[in-house]
Structure 1
Amino acid sequence: MAEPTVLLLAGGQSPEHEVSLLSAEGVLRHMPFPTELAVIAKDGRWLLGEEAEAALKAGVAPLGRLPFPPSLDWDRYQVVFPLLHGRFGEDGTVQGFLELLGKPYVGAGVAASALCMDKDLSKRVLAQAGIPVVPWVALYRGERPFIPFEPPFFVKPANTGSSIGITRVEDYAHLEAALAEAFRHDVKAVVEKALEGVRELEVGVLGNILGEASPVGEVRYQAPFYDYETKYTPGRAELLIPAPIDPGTQETVQELALKAYRLLGIRGMARVDFFLADGELYLNEVNTIPGFTPTSMYPRLFAAGGLPYPELLRRLVELALA
């Protein structure tokens, strides 16, 4: 079989637009197959060819030129790589379009993407299966808040990533403002109990339904929580791979990640994030399109396990074709 040609989709309409373009830059530089770029601007219109390259170089595309769906020769591409973080990219919408086209694509399908994107729904599925999650409650815009646990807690939009719209609330006086911030990004918010003395552990999974787990890594930082600025400002966070944890804890993290991966029906890849507090593990969330710069946690985890960045990309394309 001839080498597949890959169409890389980057940008998107979510607040994680710029993060997606950063990820795309690394993928284009290291992809072992012929790859072309399409950028979805913040207005939902598309950029192709030199215009897409210019947007990548600029790091942002406020306005596109081609309406959706773009006039692309889809038969040119054997695989599509939707590297779109957040809503309208990681939530099953683009995946549904590609399903209608009958085009193989990298990553989770429609149902798994939508389920993992919704922090409330994914927690319900995981909790029912006996996987430990942090106590939470979901609220829709306009509902009167009832929180069944005391502050401190975190208020989050149910369907965003990269810590966008998240507020740590120390007392009830600040709850209304935190909910208003979350509802700027979504119609549903999740309120999670804040755990004290938390360590944040992350593990990558690769495969179709039955995946393989990477070594476990740990994120350390000085900020009150792992917010957007801490994640994407160099030097604000330290990534430790492998995590300085005992072998039993590492094995449990990997086992829980693989169980969640299969339970949620994920294909291709995911980064599974955990909290470790007072010796107890809690699955925090599952990211079906993790950050993909060469220095992002997901590729670094697999590199530490002996799978270099270009080979990781090769495996992902092969998994999509399979």
Structure 2
Amino acid sequence: MSARVAVIGGGQNCEHEVSLASAAAVADALATAGYAVVRLTIDTDGGWRIGSGCPVDLADAVRELRTCDVVVPAVHGPRGEDGTLAALCDVAGVRYVGSGVRAGALAMDKWATKLIAADIGIATAPGVLLTAATAAAYRWTHPVVVKPVAAGSSQGVALVTSPDDLAPALDAAFALDDRVLVEDVVTGREIDLAVLGRPDGSREVAPSLEIVVDGLFDYTTKYGGAADLRIPAALTDPERKALEDAAVAMFDALGCGGVARVDFFLTAEGPVLNEVNTMPGFTEQSQVPKMFAAAGLSYPRLLDLLVRDVTRF
């Protein structure tokens, strides 16, 4: 009998539409592969829906999840990727694909990620953490990148090249989070790595991806198709090893599971960590599936592998 897989999409954050796209693609691929797929959606107001039906309360959604063998929580950003859905599945006693509560929470928190990276010797951009109480005292002195501490898809991210641009950038970031990270601009190539953790403790790193873009890799560029994504990135063997070692080190230090995307700037001094995504975009055209496809692991096979690693079917 086919495994019954719940795929959750949507969510209560600025990545709602991106999560819907990921969940739909994942559900379609798993259904084609022969799994019995249950589609659940979290609306922007926090309500749940099963399939295309009417809203249900959380208790009904949990009862539906408990009829499934495994859950794929394809919800990016806060109240999803940040460990929230992993916690729900843990409490409900349902197995799930991907990182657990701790890894999801730490990776979503860009400030915590920076602290962990520093502790294991991985460089990050110099930065400061601001709150509503401390932001007024911050003074712009050089170009910086302003971003919410816990958000994704480059939402609320701005490159600030003059003091007049600082206040609007902070306002946009604070609209999405109560903490904001202000980082120095890093000059380097944007290189992403995808790490797959297997049940036996082994780690597989897909061919690297380079993002070539004119300016900031913002939400519009990311989803508008303007970026040039090159797989594999043109790297020397020492560059590739340094990036792969750093990606696996971050995966393990955070305690990630399943697949995570680890994003770097490659500078003259070596890799500089940008961020870690424990639930990256997951349509067939998203970065992580493209990277594994370049290694010969197709999108349906990657999803099947992730489900089987959890269910052991």
TM bucket (normalised to shorter chain) is over 0.9
Q: Which residue of 2 aligns with 1:35?
A: 37
Partner letter of residue 106 of structure 2? L
Instruction: Give how far 1:320 is off.
Output: 2.3
In 1, Cα distance between equivalents of 2:94 and 2:210: 36
Q: Which residue of 1 aligns with 2:114?
A: 123
Instruction: Give how far 1:39 is off.
Output: 0.8
In 1, Cα distance between equivalents of 2:173 and 2:263: 21
Q: Which residue of 1 aligns with 2:158?
A: 167
Asked if the contact 2:66–2:92 (Cα under 8 Å) also holds between the matched residues in 1, the reply is no
Partner letter of residue 211 of structure 2? V
In 2, Cα distance between equivalents of 1:210 and 1:274: 22
Asked if the contact 2:144–2:161 (Cα under 8 Å) also holds between the matched residues in 1, the reply is yes
- Structure 2 length-normalised TM: 0.93
Asked if the contact 1:87–1:159 (Cα under 8 Å) also holds between the matched residues in 2, the reply is yes
Superposed CA deviations along residues 190-221 of structure 1, whole A, max 9, x for unmatched, are 0010023x211011111156421111110111
In 1, Cα distance between equivalents of 2:155 and 2:266: 22
Q: Which residue of 1 aligns with 2:258?
A: 268
Pair 1:94-2:93 in alignment: no
- Structure 1 length-normalised TM: 0.90
Q: Which residue of 2 aligns with 1:57?
A: none
Q: Which residue of 1 aligns with 2:173?
A: 182
Instruction: Give how far 1:65 is off.
Output: 1.8
SS in 1 for 2:255: coil
Sequence identity (%): 38
Instruction: Give how far 1:121 is off.
Output: 0.7
User: What is the total number of aligned residue pairs between the two structures?
Assistant: 306
Within the candidate set 191, 201, 214, 2:206 is matched to 214
Change (3 A) 1:130 1:148: farther
Within the candidate set 62, 73, 84, 2:64 is matched to 73
Q: Which residue of 1 aligns with 2:267?
A: 277
In 1, Cα distance between equivalents of 2:237 and 2:158: 34
Partner letter of residue 193 of structure 1? D
Q: Which residue of 1 aligns with 2:146?
A: 155
Asked if the contact 1:44–1:67 (Cα under 8 Å) also holds between the matched residues in 2, the reply is no
In 1, Cα distance between equivalents of 2:140 and 2:165: 15
In 1, Cα distance between equivalents of 2:206 and 2:291: 6
SS in 2 for 1:73: helix
Q: Which residue of 1 aligns with 2:278?
A: 288
In 2, Cα distance between equivalents of 1:156 and 1:170: 14
Pair 1:133-2:117 in alignment: no
Structure 1 unaligned spans of 5+:
52-63
In 2, Cα distance between equivalents of 1:250 and 1:314: 28
Q: Which residue of 1 aligns with 2:4?
A: 5
In 2, Cα distance between equivalents of 1:246 and 1:147: 40
Partner letter of residue 206 of structure 2? S
Within the candidate set 226, 229, 253, 2:243 is matched to 253
Q: Which residue of 2 aligns with 1:22?
A: 21
Instruction: Give how far 1:34 is off.
Output: 2.1
Output aligned runs, 1:54-73, within 5 Å: 65-71=55-61, 72-73=63-64
Change (3 A) 1:123 1:148: farther
In 2, Cα distance between equivalents of 1:216 and 1:148: 37
In 2, Cα distance between equivalents of 1:239 and 1:70: 42
SS in 1 for 2:284: coil
More displaced 10-residue stretch of structure 1: 260-269 or 246-255: 246-255
Q: Which residue of 2 aligns with 1:54?
A: none
SS in 2 for 1:70: helix
In 2, Cα distance between equivalents of 1:66 and 1:40: 10
Within the candidate set 50, 53, 68, 2:52 is matched to 50
Partner letter of residue 9 of structure 1? I
Asked if the contact 2:41–2:51 (Cα under 8 Å) also holds between the matched residues in 1, the reply is no
Instruction: Give how far 1:145 is off.
Output: 5.1
SS in 1 for 2:55: coil
Partner letter of residue 236 of structure 2? D
Runs of 4 or more consecutive aligned structure 1 residues displaced over 3 Å after TM superposition: 71-75, 144-150
Superposed CA deviations along residues 67-104 of structure 1, whole A, max 9, x for unmatched, are 22335333420000000001110111111111001110
Partner letter of residue 23 of structure 2? A
RMSD of equivalent CA atoms: 1.7
SS in 2 for 1:189: strand
Superposed CA deviations along residues 247-267 of structure 1, whole A, max 9, x for unmatched, are 221121111100110111011
Partner letter of residue 162 of structure 2? D
SS in 1 for 2:180: strand
In 2, Cα distance between equivalents of 1:68 and 1:247: 50
Asked if the contact 1:210–1:262 (Cα under 8 Å) also holds between the matched residues in 2, the reply is no
Asked if the contact 1:12–1:44 (Cα under 8 Å) also holds between the matched residues in 2, the reply is yes
Q: Which residue of 2 aligns with 1:109?
A: 100
Change (3 A) 1:280 1:180: same
Structure 2 unaligned spans of 5+:
none
Asked if the contact 2:12–2:79 (Cα under 8 Å) also holds between the matched residues in 1, the reply is yes
